[in-house]
A and B are shown apart, each in its own frame.
Chain A
């Protein structure tokens, strides 16, 4: 069926029943699949006011039509639900092999409804769909869950081909900062989804299968893939930087420009160890690992040797180094690596967990609270306390309880909401909006909180891939933000990873998409689908009570200028850029899509 399997699995955990449905061709045309179709189905089925942790909420795993076909980087599956951290729509990106295997198992989409009476694992293996009791898995770390489940299969050959998406203790305890972890240690990008899975008593989803996927024009498709591999190889960013070091190579570029924040975005002048790629290589022996069908292979694995965490692990990414490292004043890579492993094992989102600890550290620094009250010696730069806190958060012991609720709740509980560095309840990815204006606007407006992977402006503002733009100026940025938000929305809907946009232009993907799906899309057609997806998400948020008044950056970014170094004296001009952005989007001054915009996008406001 040209990319799609065309089937959706609906599992009702309350009744312990499942059904198999066909995906409606019309909505596939309008929303493609993956994130777009996930959002469409979710918004049609779940009332916006639904409590994220109630059995009425649904959790959707949705792979794009290009996933598993061999399309370059076609690996991504989106997890769509209402986030328990932000209350917005969540469409978290899952990398690795789960998305492709889900399609070989025979489904483009899995919709999970209701709540199981006791913990279960949803196992979809070779057309056998079962709910397996997960009592003996409950409380276990993500890797232990994976190992035990695979061992329970009793056959090493089956085990090797099985992929799992699982929550850790953090998700079980319904912590809003929990996420889902798949394929051993790959955290699904975004908080607020792990608790939803936990609230359904769903410990994991396991997939394996042998269904075939069809592509429309195999010969052409193979040629296009060849060309794309060559193109990726001719760009230094995708053939060297990402391939050698993963996203961590960005650290060396962002730090001197003050884009990489430190100390809860205070941007103090602190002396830090070198965190560049040389340091990374001397701290870890890197081993590349690829998501399905990815020639770039930016995931780096290693053997960790820290007294708290030893064994197989992941080399920290840009996100981890920023959120769990510098933003907590920590620059020791071995500590940061350990911290990110603690997150992966407990099923904590590194950005949300790091953001919370950074807030706690600032609360101590500002003497709002003390280490005695917190019962942990949290201070910027204190490696041991960071690791201790991360271990405690998912046990919900003592004061760590407060922290499991996220940075916003923590700051508010001490009556200092101004110390929460995030938007819509989500902690900010480590990009300082004052030093990179377009990203700042994206952070303010992103439907799913301030996450850089939903608006790739840094590829121009920092890396100069398509256009060489100064990160400190605002001119043309609203249009840039809209363009990249729409681009990522359509890439996610197709199931393509966004990182290759560093080496390939969006238009390079068009022949790939058409030869795979048998369509005749132009780049503009596809971008307008992206725009439709973006508006559908916004519409859901507005109905859930999250409108333009939530498109706000913390006052720190608009009022406190960067105090030293590059970008000194800069503040974020987000409020100046917002009106232009809204008007480009066809939204009202309150950030709500106008009726005529919805009509052009063929979205009905029901």
Chain B
């Protein structure tokens, strides 16, 4: 099954992927708040997060994740959107968004516009 591999170390935070997704899902429209991928900034790093399901209650299993000696709030990379984290809620309609793995093969639109290799289509 093909899937999108994320390498946050390569991400430059350019947010071109957000616009690619927005243009692909809403005709002729560029708006990061209508994208199903968002770049979460934490300290000096950027984490591309592909939206997962919407859960209507915040979870209770919040943790700190350690990467390269730094501790990060798990909420920042969690793919779900929830009432506590208002990401991936369609700006104009209020509908929760979910990545539908779009795009003309071989690459979904976000992967196509990501020029750094932070997003990559892999088979496994």
Distance between Cα atoms of A216 and B30 in the complex (Å)? 11
Distance between Cα atoms of A68 and B31 in the complex (Å)? 8
Is A104 positioned at the interface, with any CB of B under 8 Å from its CB?
yes
Distance between Cα atoms of A229 and B107 in the complex (Å)? 15
- With a CB–CB cut-off of 8 A, which chain A residues contact B91? 210, 212
Given B16, B20, B32, B87, which contacts A294 in the complex, CB threshold below 8 Å?
B16
Judge whether B14 and A211 touch: CB under 8 Å. no
Is B113 positioned at the interface, with any CB of A under 8 Å from its CB?
yes
- With a CB–CB cut-off of 8 A, which chain B residues contact A287? 44
Judge whether B12 and A69 touch: CB under 8 Å. no
Is B27 positioned at the interface, with any CB of A under 8 Å from its CB?
yes
Given A157-B86, A221-B23, A229-B115, residue A97 in contact with residue B15 (CB < 8 A): yes
- With a CB–CB cut-off of 8 A, which chain A residues contact B85? 157
- With a CB–CB cut-off of 8 A, which chain A residues contact B6? none
Judge whether A226 and B23 touch: CB under 8 Å. no
Is B3 positioned at the interface, with any CB of A under 8 Å from its CB?
no
Is A388 positioned at the interface, with any CB of B under 8 Å from its CB?
no
Judge whether B44 and A312 touch: CB under 8 Å. yes
Is B92 positioned at the interface, with any CB of A under 8 Å from its CB?
yes
| Best-surrounded residue of B12, B20, B92 (most CB of chain A within 10 A) | B12
Distance between Cα atoms of A525 and B87 in the complex (Å)? 42
Judge whether A70 and B12 touch: CB under 8 Å. no
Given A210-B31, A210-B33, A212-B30, residue A295 in contact with residue B112 (CB < 8 A): no
- With a CB–CB cut-off of 8 A, which chain B residues contact A232? 115
Is B36 positioned at the interface, with any CB of A under 8 Å from its CB?
no
Is B52 positioned at the interface, with any CB of A under 8 Å from its CB?
no
Is A233 positioned at the interface, with any CB of B under 8 Å from its CB?
yes
Judge whether B28 and A215 touch: CB under 8 Å. yes
Distance between Cα atoms of A68 and B33 in the complex (Å)? 12
Is A218 positioned at the interface, with any CB of B under 8 Å from its CB?
yes
| Best-surrounded residue of B30, B33, B34, B40 (most CB of chain A within 10 A) | B30
Is A291 positioned at the interface, with any CB of B under 8 Å from its CB?
yes
**A294-315 interface code vs B (CB 8 A; 1 in, 0 out):** 1101000101000000001000
- With a CB–CB cut-off of 8 A, which chain B residues contact A156? 73
Number of interface residues of A (CB under 8 A): 38
Number of interface residues of B (CB under 8 A): 34
Given A229-B115, A287-B44, residue A213 in contact with residue B31 (CB < 8 A): yes
Closest chain-B Cβ to A294's Cβ sits at a distance in Å of: 5
- With a CB–CB cut-off of 8 A, which chain B residues contact A214? 28-30
- With a CB–CB cut-off of 8 A, which chain B residues contact A210? 31, 33, 91-92
Given A70, A97, A301, which contacts B44 in the complex, CB threshold below 8 Å?
A301
Nearest A-chain residue to B87, judged by Cβ: A157
Distance between Cα atoms of A104 and B23 in the complex (Å)? 15
Judge whether B44 and A295 touch: CB under 8 Å. no
| Best-surrounded residue of B23, B28, B41, B85 (most CB of chain A within 10 A) | B28
Closest chain-B Cβ to A210's Cβ sits at a distance in Å of: 4
Interface residues of B in 1-43 (CB under 8 A from A): 12-16, 19-20, 22-24, 26-34, 40-41, 43
Is B109 positioned at the interface, with any CB of A under 8 Å from its CB?
yes
**B95-121 interface code vs A (CB 8 A; 1 in, 0 out):** 000000000000001001101100000
- With a CB–CB cut-off of 8 A, which chain A residues contact B27? 218
Given A289-B12, A291-B14, residue A211 in contact with residue B44 (CB < 8 A): no
- With a CB–CB cut-off of 8 A, which chain B residues contact A70? 16, 19-20, 22-23, 30, 113
- With a CB–CB cut-off of 8 A, which chain B residues contact A216? 28
Judge whether B86 and A297 touch: CB under 8 Å. no
Closest chain-A Cβ to B24's Cβ sits at a distance in Å of: 7
Judge whether B116 and A288 touch: CB under 8 Å. yes
Given A97, A157, A222, A290, which contacts B20 in the complex, CB threshold below 8 Å?
A222
Judge whether A211 and B31 touch: CB under 8 Å. yes
Given A104-B31, A212-B92, A218-B28, residue A233 in contact with residue B14 (CB < 8 A): no
Judge whether A212 and B113 touch: CB under 8 Å. no
| Best-surrounded residue of A70, A216, A293 (most CB of chain B within 10 A) | A70
Given B14, B29, B40, B43, which contacts A293 in the complex, CB threshold below 8 Å?
B14
Is A374 positioned at the interface, with any CB of B under 8 Å from its CB?
no
Is A292 positioned at the interface, with any CB of B under 8 Å from its CB?
yes
Judge whether B29 and A229 touch: CB under 8 Å. no
- With a CB–CB cut-off of 8 A, which chain A residues contact B44? 287, 301, 303, 312
Nearest B-chain residue to A217, judged by Cβ: B28
Judge whether B86 and A295 touch: CB under 8 Å. no
Supply 14 further A-B pairs (C-beta < 8 A) apart from A294-B14, A295-B115.
A70-B19, A70-B22, A70-B30, A70-B113, A160-B41, A214-B28, A215-B30, A216-B28, A218-B23, A218-B27, A229-B115, A294-B12, A297-B12, A303-B44
Q: List 24 A-B contacts (CB under 8 A).
A: A70-B30, A70-B113, A104-B33, A157-B85, A157-B86, A210-B91, A213-B29, A214-B28, A221-B23, A222-B109, A225-B113, A226-B113, A229-B113, A229-B115, A232-B115, A289-B12, A290-B13, A290-B16, A291-B14, A292-B15, A294-B16, A295-B115, A297-B12, A312-B43
